[in-house]
Amino acid sequence: MDISQLHKLFLECDSVSIDTRKIQAKSMFVAIKGENFDANTFAKEALEKGASYVVIDNEDYFIDQRTVLVKNSLAALQELAKFHRQYLKLPIIALTGSNGKTTTKELINVVLSKKYNTKATVGNLNNHIGVPLTLLSFDNSTEVGIVEMGANHKKEIEFLCEIAQPDYGYITNFGKAHLEGFGGVEGVIIGKSEMYDYLAQNNKSAFINLEDSIQVEKTKNFNTYSFGLNKKYADVSIHSITANPFVEIRLANLSIKTHLIGLYNANNINAALSIGKFFEVDDNAIKEALESYIPENNRSQLLTKETNQIILDAYNANPSSMAVAIENFLQLDNANKIMILGDMFELGEESQQEHQAIVDSLLNQESVSCYFIGKEFYASQKDKNNFHFYETFESFSNHLKEVKIENSYILIKGSRGMALERTLNFL
């Protein structure tokens, strides 16, 4: 069966799924092999739960005319998504970057949805499976599609761009993330810039932050729409940015008070603001969208637990995001500050060096109690009265059971694998 025929079957369905636990009636189930399972074995279950068709790549699990046999189910999903994207012909905005992708994506979505019927990546489904699923969630009613792209090695963004074929692109930043897969910061720049390469080769456009010299350098020779702080030549000139603790953005005729914490979120807001202006969303509608957005999912959330104020930023961490989160926290005018910092993952050979750098950067901060959790931080110990090191979360939680933290301002930051949101149970 060729891809156009498969697409006709897909159009008969209401959705596509790769997980029988979430199967819906009138869906198309695509059986993808994982490291520890073969989804072909679930084809019959998917049909029993209401799927209209199942796509398999093992003929042993062929059932009846509702079964579509392909050479490789994952490749078929990706080809189907690319075909569907071409079929719809809607404008697509793609974004990637080391930090802030998901927050920026959500901000862009709330802004553009004030004028358009938009659809965007759900959660962080931003890889070689998530991007196709996102594209296949778009339909004839979708006026603008917003696609988040993640990567942990070179050529991944290039591959995702070939599937999604974006008309516009934005890179949030180039930081110290996934150093192990990219082979260092230079590798990160090359890998993320694959989006620029695609846009340039296909005469498409990029949104750029003029405060980022790498973005400026990489986009010299093609269409851009820019924003910057007090830059008259910017398409959108931002007059001032403050954060105490929430970010407030001021333009010549517009003031936006958000529920996002930290100056490190300012560029995420500015990008969404600028993209809204590019797509001619009314200024007041942009203001309303950005001011009503409240972060969740452990991303820069401001929470209150009894007498404590907590900045929960435990969705993920890398050296770049850790450094700006710490910097922002130290600038806040509060007494009784506590930082709970967890290991940063996927740093490869530079892991110990980067964890040591975070610890050393806090050596002169006498007034902040610092709790470091995880094997990498534990190996970076320094003997200071306000420093506390725990090799595991369990040992840290045992300490919390014995003390009572009150009237404190607390930053919780760590990689996803550390799951530091568990700390809330003990505060």
CATH number, domain containing residue 419:
3.90.190.20
Q: Coil, strand or helix: which one is 345?
A: coil
Residue 213 lies in a domain: yes
- 312/420 same-domain check: yes
pLDDT of residue 1: 83
**What are the Cα distances from residue 231, in Å, to 210, 240, 269?**
8, 11, 17
pLDDT of residue 28: 97
- 133/151 same-domain check: yes
Kindly tell me if the per-residue pLDDT of 126 is higher than 80. yes
pLDDT of residue 36: 81
Kindly tell me if the per-residue pLDDT of 147 is higher than 80. yes
- 409/340 same-domain check: yes
- 31/64 same-domain check: yes
Q: Say which residue the tokens 């490789």 belong to.
A: 72
CA angle 404, 405, 410 (to 5 degrees): 155
The parent domain of residue 325 ranges over 301-426
pLDDT of residue 185: 84
Amino acid at 225: Y
Tell me what the mean pLDDT of segment 76-96 comes to. Answer: 97
- 108/221 same-domain check: yes
Kindly tell me if the per-residue pLDDT of 262 is higher than 90. no
pLDDT of residue 18: 95
Q: For the chain, what percent of residues have pLDDT higher than 70?
A: 100
Confidence of residue 34 (pLDDT cuts 50, 70, 90): confident
pLDDT of residue 27: 96
Residue 78 lies in a domain: no
| CB within 8 Å of 368: residues ≥ 6 apart | 330, 337, 338, 339, 362, 386
- 305/280 same-domain check: no
Q: Let me know if 366 is exposed, middle or buried by CB neighbors in 10 A (0-12, 13-18, 19+).
A: exposed
278 close to 207: Cβ distance less than 8 angstroms: yes
pLDDT of residue 202: 96
Sheet containing strand 255-261, edge to edge, reads 240-243, 246-250, 255-261
pLDDT in tens, 92-116: 999 999 888 999 999 999 999 999 9
Residue 342 lies in a domain: yes
Q: For the chain, what percent of residues have pLDDT higher than 90?
A: 79
Confidence of residue 74 (pLDDT cuts 50, 70, 90): very high
pLDDT of residue 245: 82
Residue 409 lies in a domain: yes
Residue 142's Cα: distance from chain center in Å? Answer: 22
In 10 A of CB 86, how many CB atoms? 10
Residue 75 lies in a domain: no
Total structural domains within the chain: 3
Kindly tell me if the per-residue pLDDT of 247 is higher than 80. yes
Last residue of a domain, one of 292, 319, 344: 292
Sequence-separated contacts (24+) of 328-332 with Cβ below 8 Å: 328/243, 328/261, 328/262, 328/263, 328/264, 329/262, 329/409, 329/411, 330/365, 330/368, 332/244, 332/245, 332/409
Kindly tell me if the per-residue pLDDT of 232 is higher than 90. no
pTM: 0.88
Q: Say which residue the tokens 């070939």 belong to.
A: 162
- 267/310 same-domain check: no
Hey, what are 152's tokens?
């942990």
Tell me what the mean pLDDT of segment 220-248 comes to. Answer: 92
- 357/279 same-domain check: no
- 116/236 same-domain check: yes
Number of residues assigned to the chain: 427
* Rounded Cα–Cα distance for residues 33 and 52 (Å): 20
Residue 216 lies in a domain: yes
Tell me what the mean pLDDT of segment 51-69 comes to. Answer: 96
The enclosing domain of 26 has a CATH number of 3.40.1390.10
What DSSP letter does each residue of 140-170 carry, written as one string? TT-SEEEEE---SSTTHHHHHHHHH--SEEE
Beta bridge pairs of residue 171 = 96
Buried (b) or exposed (e) across 62-82, using 16+ Cβ within 10 A?
eeeeebbebeebbebbbbbbb
Residue 84 lies in a domain: no
pLDDT in tens, 170-228: 999 997 777 777 778 888 899 999 999 999 999 999 999 999 999 999 999 889 999 99
pLDDT of residue 182: 79
161 close to 198: Cβ distance less than 8 angstroms: yes
Kindly tell me if the per-residue pLDDT of 291 is higher than 80. yes
Confidence of residue 35 (pLDDT cuts 50, 70, 90): confident
Q: Helices in 151-260 by DSSP H: which ranges?
A: 156-164, 179-182, 185-192, 194-201, 213-218
pLDDT in tens, 340-394: 999 999 898 899 999 999 999 999 998 899 999 999 999 999 999 999 999 999 9
pLDDT of residue 269: 97
Tell me what the mean pLDDT of segment 8-28 comes to. Answer: 95
Hey, what are 402's tokens?
């014995």
Last residue of a domain, one of 258, 292, 326: 292
Taking the alpha carbons at both ends of the chain, their separation in whole angstroms is 57
Last residue of a domain, one of 260, 292, 324: 292
pLDDT of residue 176: 76
The enclosing domain of 286 has a CATH number of 3.40.1190.10
